[in-house]
Amino acid sequence: MADSLYLELADFEHDIYTGIYSEETGKPQPLRFTVRAKLKAKSFYDADTPLEESKNYMDLKFACSEGLGDRHYKLIEAVADHVCETLFLQDTRIEEIQVKIVKLALSEAGEKIGITLTRERR
């Protein structure tokens, strides 16, 4: 079994235009993202290993913010799909991506309502 490296961005909040109901459309909604990207790992990382041997975790943050643009997404599933496709296009070493999205505006008592999409490279 080959070693794997998981890069993670956890609990990143960003406002995205999403939703299908009239009270949701026309204004951005706060979403909380957790993204996990699986890469093939090097056999060894020493103190001088350059960033190019891994992936910049800021790319995960970009895919959940500026990478989504100002477009309106009816479903948060489409938001998660766009995050996956952005990351797959950025780096061919990514084998799998998991995107968890929580719709913060739906929470009434601290519950976490949302989806998790796991996509393997095709």
List the CATH number of the domain containing 76. 3.30.1130.10
- The token duo for 93 is 């070493």
Q: Give me the amino acid identity at 31.
A: L
Most distant CA atoms of the chain, gap in Å: 53
Q: Is the pTM of this model over 0.75?
A: yes
* Domain coverage including residue 116: 4-120
Count the domains in the chain.
Answer: 1
Q: Could you read off the pLDDT of 65-114 as tens digits, one per residue?
A: 999 999 999 999 999 999 999 999 999 999 999 999 999 987 788 788 99
Per-residue pLDDT at 121 exceeds 80: yes
- In angstroms, the CA 11 to CA 20 distance is 24
Strands 114-120 and 29-40: unpaired
For residue range 8-66, list pLDDT tens digits in order.
999 999 999 998 988 888 889 999 999 999 998 877 888 998 888 888 889 999 999 99
Tokens 């780096």 locate to 91
Among 96, 88, 95, 116, smallest CA distance to 32 is for 116
